[in-house]
């Protein structure tokens, strides 16, 4: 473990060789008409897309990219005085030891005065995780630290129910492909209703992401979903906290 490139990067203080910034997109409790959290989304310093940055990520700079994203998210959230929870994405394949790799995040939170109990660590299920036990261990370590945890893109990735069997996060985000046109797709409705029933029994809260139409929102509300994210409510704001368009 001590010879891994990630641990060497942490020890030697090697940084990322291209600059990054963040956009913030609200996760909204529609019924209460309030923002539950803001997700930090990586962007270039001139607002370039996440995809253009991820195309520059290699095995050599993966660790530095993951660490830089965490620190930048904390820095900007503190600067913007985000009044809600802050959801920070992390790349599980960049984490070698949970306690070691979280050190820079903890130091950044202290330096920028962001309370630790405002942080949610969110992992996307679409990144191919080579070791589910390792990912489960990371999430458990973060929970022991008092952080909330979330699984993004649930239902679309590599981990799926295998991860959920070993670790129940505080939140899951339904993949937007399950959400799209759900108001007129009976199969998607059945799949989402089954997932919601499972999550209720496991005491896991559900976020529906990628909401683009009023019909999608209303259908999911009728199913019992409370938390939503998507362009219908707010687009990501580059280095800002965007206003929410609450449904009438």
CATH of the domain at 107: 3.20.20.450
3-state secondary structure 102-171: CHHHHHHHHHHCCCHHHEEEEEECCCCCCCHHHHHHHHHHHHHCCCEEEEEEECCCCCHHHHHHHCCCCE
CA dist., res. 170 & res. 154, Å (int): 13
Q: How many domains does the chain have?
A: 1
Q: How many CA atoms lie within 13 A of 113 on its CB side?
A: 4
Domain that holds residue 80: 5-173+204-209+224-238
The whole-model pTM stands at 0.90
185 lies in a domain? no
181 lies in a domain? no
By the 8 A CB rule, do 179 and 143 touch? no
pLDDT in tens, the chain (248 residues): 444 444 555 544 456 889 999 999 999 999 999 999 999 999 999 999 999 999 999 888 888 999 999 999 999 999 999 999 999 998 877 776 777 778 888 999 999 999 999 999 998 755 555 567 878 888 888 888 889 999 888 865 555 677 788 889 999 999 899 999 999 999 999 999 999 999 999 999 999 999 999 999 999 999 999 999 999 999 999 999 999 999 87
Question: Residue 210 region, left (φ>0) first, then alpha (ψ -120 to 50), else beta?
Answer: left
234 lies in a domain? yes
């Amino acid at each position: 473990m001590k010879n891994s490139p990630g641990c060497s990067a942490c020890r030697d203080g090697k940084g990322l060789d291209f600059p990054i910034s963040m956009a913030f997109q609200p996760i909204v409790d529609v019924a209460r008409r309030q923002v539950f959290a803001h997700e930090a989304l990586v962007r270039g310093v001139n607002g370039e897309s996440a995809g253009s940055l991820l195309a520059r990520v290699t095995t050599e700079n993966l660790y530095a990219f993951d660490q830089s994203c965490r620190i930048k998210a904390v820095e900007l959230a503190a600067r913007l005085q985000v009044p809600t929870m802050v959801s920070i994405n992390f790349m599980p394949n960049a984490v070698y030891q949970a306690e070691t790799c979280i050190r820079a995040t903890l130091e950044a939170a202290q330096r920028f005065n962001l309370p630790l109990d405002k942080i949610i660590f969110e992992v996307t299920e679409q990144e191919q995780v080579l070791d589910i036990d390792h990912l489960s261990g990371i999430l458990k370590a973060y929970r022991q630290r008092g952080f909330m945890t979330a699984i993004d893109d649930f239902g679309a990735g590599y981990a799926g129910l295998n991860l959920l069997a070993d670790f129940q996060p505080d939140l899951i985000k339904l993949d937007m492909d399950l959400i799209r046109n759900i108001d007129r797709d009976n199969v998607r409705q059945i799949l989402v209703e089954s997932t919601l029933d499972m999550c209720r029994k496991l005491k896991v809260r559900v976020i529906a992401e990628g909401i683009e139409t009023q019909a999608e929102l209303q259908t999911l509300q009728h199913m019992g979903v409370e938390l939503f994210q998507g362009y219908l409510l707010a687009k990501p704001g580059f280095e800002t906290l965007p206003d929410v368009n609450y449904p009438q």
